[in-house]
Chain A
C-alpha cells in the first residue's frame, strides 16, 4: 500500500494516461458527475457513486457487433490502449464481479471481454461518499483500490496488475492504516441490505400478491431507466442497419419494462402488462438470480431509485413490499417503514 497526496495523485493520473486510457469520475458542466476520460473535465472523485453505471465502460448503451462491407466481415477492434478505470465503489465492484461471471458463463461474450480483459479496475472508497460520508473499503474485487482518509489517498493493490502499478509509486506507509479504517468503518448490516434480503425471502416464498404488482405497475411510465442505470442488467437488443454496400449489426441496452421485450411474434405477450413486467424486474434480481447464481443480483448501488421518475426503484419497492407483507416471521426483521 502507498499513500498519495492530492498533488501526487494528479501526477499519478498523468503518468497512468501514458499507458492506459484513464477514465475517472469527473464533474460535467452542469454539475452532473460521470466516469469520463482524464482531462475531459475536472476530476471529481468525491461524492460517492456516479449516476451512470460504471460497467458501461465494458458494456456501453450501444456497441457494434460486426459490419459486413462488400461481403467482408469486420469485427470491432480491441482498443489500442487498455482502459484504466477509477470510480467503482465497493457495491459497483460487486456488480462488476457479477456481470463478469455472467458474460463469461457458457458462451463467452467476446464483445464485452474485448474491452474488459486488459482493463485495470480501481475501486474508490473512504471518506469520499456523498457529503463526505464513509464508503467502507472493498478489500478486493478490483485490481487496486483508492481509499480517501480525508486528506490523502491510500492506494491498495489486490491483483498482479495492481501490485505492479502500486510498486511503481513513490511513497509507502504502514499497511495497518487501511485495516484501522476498515475496522473503524465496520458497521452492522445497513437497513437496505436487510430490506432487500427480506424482500427476496418473501418473493421466493411467493408471499407477494398480484395486486401489489398491479399497484406498483400503475406507477411505471416505462422509461426503462431502472434497467439502463442498473450495473447488473445485461439484457440487450440487436439491430441491423442496411445500406447499399454495408450491413452494420449493433446491440443496445434493452429493458424488461418494455412490452416488446417478451412479445411473441403472434402478438401475444406472456408479460403483457406493467404489473407483470415490474414483478419480473424485481423478481429476477431477488428470486431468480439467487437460484441461478447463489446471490441476489441487486447490490444496492441505488441507481434505479435515483433514476426512476415515479419512485419505484428497487429499494423503494422492497420497502413497500416488506412493510406490507413481511414485517414479522423473519430473521431479517425490519422495524422501519
Chain B
C-alpha cells in the first residue's frame, strides 16, 4: 500500500492529493490537508480521479491502420512510420503542411518538447493546443492591456476581498475549490455579483444576479464603466499613476448610458447601476471570468473591458483584487507558458523576434528556426480543407468532440494524408487516425503542471502505465531521435525542466528540488526568487496598464424564424471535456449518463416538451438528438447544452466563427431549432 502526492488531472484549481495504490493498482484518493487550494477537500472529480486509470479501454500498444482497421504493432514500427510519413508529407507539401496539436492535459515538460519537436526537428511553427479554444482571447487581451495573459492574483485572495464580480464562470461546477471559497466568502460578508444568464449556484447566493443577453458583455461592462465614471466612483490616483489611454476609454463608454445598456443587455437600469456602485464602492474587488467571456467572436473585446473595469476602479496589484481568468484545464496555463502556441516560444517570447529565434536555435543546436508564425488550431481545419495542411500530430486532444462544427472537423480529419494521435484512450479522434500511440496517464509519469494561479506543481508517478504505453515525453524524444535529431535526450523530466528554466525567464528559477511540496508561482526568474503570488504590484508587466476600449458587437449568428433559439454550450460538473476519462469513471458517468439540453419551462410549455423528452436540435451545421431538461437555470429563448457526449454532440451544432484576433470560436452563441420527437 502506497500513497503518492500528486496533482489532480482535471481543472485549473490544481488541487494536490495522494493517490492510494496497492499492489500496483490505484484504490483511491486522499486530499492533501496542507495544500493551499485543496486544504483537505476535493471536488467530486478529484475524489474520483483514480477511477479511470486501469479501465480496460486504455490503449496498451501502438496501432497502425492496415486494411481499414487499427492493428497493434511494435513501438519501433510505429515510430519509424510516424517519422517517415511526417517527412513524406513535408517533402511533398512543405514544412508547414503538418500541424502539431499539444495538450493542456500533458505536463509542462511534454508541451515544451512537442513545441521543440515541431520547431527544431520538423521546422514548423504549426504548434498549438486547446488554450486556443478556451483562453486565447485572455492571452491576447491581457497581454495588450497588462502585458501578461494570466490570472493576476492568487486563489487565497478570495478570502481577502470585499466584492467579487463573477462573469461568465460557473465557478462551483468548473473550479469547485474556488467556487466553494467564493461561497464561504459570501457567508462571511463579501458581496457577490454574478453576471451570467444561467441561474448557476453562485447566482443563487449573489446579492445581484444580472441575467444579460448572451454576447452582450461588452455593452454591460461599458455601461457599468460609464456609471462609475459619471458618478465619480473611479480611482483617479490609480488611473493617473499606473495607466495610459484613459481618455479614450472615457470617451468610448460615455454614450453607454444606463438606458442604452439596459436596451442592449436586456437588463433593468436599476440593476446595472446597483452593480456599478457595488463593485466600484468596495475597497477591494476581484473579477472572475471564464469561458462565458472568452468564447465569443469578440472574446478579446470582452477581456479588454474586464481589464479596463479593474484598472478604472484601482483593483489591480493588491491582495483581494485583480483580473482572474480561471484557466480550465489542469495545465492549460502551462501549455501556454511552454510556448505550445504558433507565435510564441516558451515564456511568451515572440517567434517574430530574431534575437529570440537566435537564442532558441543556439540552445537547440539548429541553424535556424522558422520566422513564420504557425497556424492556430482553430484555423487548421480550414487550412486543411483549403489544401494548405496535410498532416496532423495530435497529442492528448480530441477535436472530434471539442472543436466547433463537428461535421467540418470530421471531414477534414478523415481527408488528411496523415493523422497521428497520441492518447490514453481510443478517442473519437484517435479512431480516425492512421497511427495511434498509447500514452501514460497523469498517474503513471512525472512532470509538472501549472495551475490557474501560475503555481508550478510536481506530478509524481504512482503506478506503471498499462501494456506498452509510455509517457508522452518519452515518445516525443524517441520520435526526435528517429528523425535524426540528437538534442532531445533526457534522463528525466527534471532535466527537461532545467532546459526550460535556462530558456524561459519566467521559469528561470524553477528546478525540481524547489517544488516540494506545493510548487512555486511564476514569475520566478532565479534560484533565490520565492515566486510571485500577485502580478503587477508596483507596475504592470508592460509598464503602464493600457485602457483598450471596445465597441459592442453582436454575436455572429442570432436567432431568426428558422432557428429561433440561442444555443450556448459548456460543461457539467461531473464530466471533463470530451469525457474520455470521466465517462469511464463509474460514479461520474452514472451522475450524467447522457446528453441533455436545458430549456426554460415557458419554452417547454409552448413546445409541448416535458422533462426527459427526446428532442432533435438543428442548426445550420448539423443536428443532434438529446434529452430535454426543463429548468429555470436558463432564461426563455436560450438553451444550454454540454459538449461532453459523443451521442448528442453539442459541437455538431456550434458555429465555427472565430474571434479575428485570438481565433477562439464562438461556442457560446449560435442559433438552433428545437423539435420534439414523437
Q: Report the minimum CB–CB distance from B8 to chain A (whole Å).
A: 12
**Is B18 at the interface (CB under 8 A from chain A)?**
yes
A62 cross-chain contacts in B, Cβ below 8 A: 26-28, 50-51
Other-chain residue from B33, B51, B586 in contact with A51 (beta carbon distance below 8 A): B33
Q: How many chain-A residues does the 8 Å CB contact rule pick out?
A: 48
A60 cross-chain contacts in B, Cβ below 8 A: 20, 22, 27-28
Q: What are the residues of chain B within 8 A of A56 when measuring CB–CB?
A: 28
**Cross-chain contact B47 with A310 (CB below 8 angstroms):** no
Please determine whether B180 and A29 come into contact, CB atoms closer than 8 angstroms.
no
> A28, A237, A267: which contacts B18 (Cβ < 8 A)?
A28
Mask of A224-258 contacts with B, CB within 8 angstroms, 1/0: 11001000000001010111001010001111001
Question: A162 at interface (Cβ–Cβ under 8 A)?
Answer: no
Chain B residues, Cβ within 8 Å of A258: 44, 587, 590-591
> Using an 8 Å CB-CB cutoff, how does the interface string of B173-194 with A read, 1 for contact, 0 for none?
1001101110110010000000
Q: Contact check: which of B1, B40, B54 meets A23 at CB < 8 Å?
A: B1
CB proximity to A under 8 Å, residues B560-608: 573, 586-587, 590-591, 593
Chain A residues within 8 Å of B, Cβ to Cβ: 23, 28-34, 36-37, 40-41, 51-52, 56, 60-63, 218-219, 221-225, 228, 237, 239, 241-243, 246, 248, 252-255, 258-260, 267, 306-311
Q: Which of B3, B44, B50 contacts A223 (CB 8 A)?
A: B44
User: What would 10 A/B residue contacts be, using CB atoms closer than 8 Å?
Assistant: A29-B5, A52-B30, A218-B205, A221-B43, A221-B172, A221-B183, A223-B44, A258-B590, A307-B31, A310-B184
B-side contacts of A40, CB under 8 Å:
1-3
Q: How far apart sit A252 and B41, CA to CA, in the bound complex (Å)?
A: 19
Residues on the B chain within 8 Å of A309, using CB? 41, 43, 176-177, 180-181, 184
The 4 closest A-B pairs by CB, nearest first: A61-B28, A309-B180, A30-B517, A243-B56
The CA-CA distance from A63 to B51 in the complex, in Å, is: 11
Are the C-beta atoms of A252 and B587 separated by less than 8 Å? yes
Q: Per a CB cutoff under 8 Å, which of B31, B517, B586 touches A239?
A: B586
Question: Of A34, A223, A241, A259, which one neighbours B176 at CB under 8 angstroms?
Answer: A223
Residues of chain B contacted by A33 (CB below 8 angstroms): 33
Q: Are A310 and B32 within 8 A (Cβ)?
A: no
Bits for B21-57, please: 1 = Cβ < 8 Å to A, else 0: 0100011111111110000111110110011001110
* Pair A307/B16 contact, Cβ less than 8 Å: no
**Nearest Cβ in chain B — how far from A61, in angstroms?**
3
Q: Which one of A33, A219, A258, A267 has the greatest number of beta carbons of chain B within 10 Å?
A: A219
Contact of A241 among B35, B55, B181, B516 (CB under 8 A): B55
User: Is A252 in contact with B5, judged by CB distance below 8 angstroms?
Assistant: no
Chain B interface bracket (under 10, 10 to 19, 20 to 34, 35 or more) = 35 or more
Cβ of B587: which chain A residues have Cβ within 8 Å of it?
Answer: 224, 237, 252, 254-255, 258, 260
Partner among B40, B184, B611 whose Cβ is within 8 Å of the Cβ of A307: B40
Cα distance, A149 to B112, chains bound together (Å): 55
CB of B518 within 8 Å of the partner chain:
yes
- With A30-B517, A34-B3, A237-B590 known to touch, is A222 a contact of B40 (CB < 8 Å)? no
Instruction: Provide the bound-state CA to CA distance between A41 and B1, in Å.
Output: 12
A29 touches B517 (CB 8 A): yes
Q: Mark B520-538, 1 if CB is under 8 A from A, else 0.
A: 0000000000000000000
Measured between beta carbons, the chain A residues less than 8 angstroms from B46 are 223
Q: Which residue of B lies closest to A309 (CB)?
A: B180
A119 → chain B closest CB, angstroms: 14
Does residue B201 face the partner (Cβ distance < 8 Å to A)?
Answer: yes
Interface residue? B204 (CB, 8 A)? yes
Give the dominant DSSP class at B's interface: mixed
Given A31-B34, A36-B1, A221-B180, 11 other A-B residues pairs in contact with their CB atoms under 8 A: A34-B30, A221-B179, A222-B44, A228-B47, A248-B56, A259-B591, A306-B33, A309-B43, A309-B177, A309-B180, A309-B184
Say if the beta carbon of B379 comes within 8 Å of chain A. Answer: no
Flag if B5 contacts A30 (CB, 8 Å): yes
Tell me, in angstroms, the Cα distance from A52 to B33 when the chains sit together. 10
The answer to the question of B612 belonging to the interface, with a C-beta cut-off of 8 Å to chain A, is yes
Q: Which A residues are CB-close (under 8 A) to B591?
A: 258-260
Residues in B lying within 8 Å of A, measured CB to CB: 1-3, 5, 16, 18, 20, 22, 26-35, 40-44, 46-47, 50-51, 54-56, 172-173, 176-177, 179-181, 183-184, 187, 201, 204-205, 516-518, 573, 586-587, 590-591, 593, 611-612
**Minimum Cβ distance to chain B for residue A331 (Å):** 31
**Cβ contact of B32, chosen from A30, A218, A260, A311, cutoff 8 A:** A30
A51→B16 contact, CB < 8 A: no
* Residues A63 and B18 in contact, CB atoms below 8 Å apart: no
B593: which A residues are within 8 A, CB to CB? Answer: 260
Residues on A with C-beta less than 8 A from B517 are 29-31
Once the chains bind, are A218 and B180 in contact (CB under 8 Å)?
no
Contact present for A218 and B201 (CB under 8 Å): yes
Beta-carbon contact of A30 and B47 below 8 Å: no
**Cβ–Cβ contact B30 & A241, under 8 A:** no
For B517, B586, B590, the residue with the greatest tally of chain A CB atoms inside 10 Å of its CB is: B586
Question: Given the complex, which residues of B lie within 8 Å of A218, measured CB to CB?
Answer: 201, 204-205
B26 contact set on A, CB distance < 8 A: 62
Q: Is the CB of A242 within 8 A of B56?
A: yes
- Given A222-B44, A260-B587, A307-B40, does the pair A32, B184 have CB atoms closer than 8 Å? no
C-alpha spacing A308/B50, complex, angstroms: 20
Bound complex: CA A262 to CA B281 (Å): 46
Q: Find chain B residues with CB under 8 A from A310 CB.
A: 180, 183-184
* Distance, CA A243 to CA B60, complexed state (A): 13
| B41: chain A residues within 8 A (beta carbon) | 223, 225, 307-309
Q: Tell me, in angstroms, the Cα distance from A31 to B32 when the chains sit together.
A: 8
Partner of A222 from the list B5, B31, B54, B573 (CB cut-off 8 Å) is B573
Give the residues in chain A near B201, CB-CB below 8 Å: 218, 221
Chain B residue contacts of A224, Cβ below 8 A: 44, 47, 587
Q: B296 → chain A, closest Cβ, in Å?
A: 27
Tell me the bound Cα distance from A28 to B20 in angstroms.
12
A43 to B56, CA, bound (A): 37
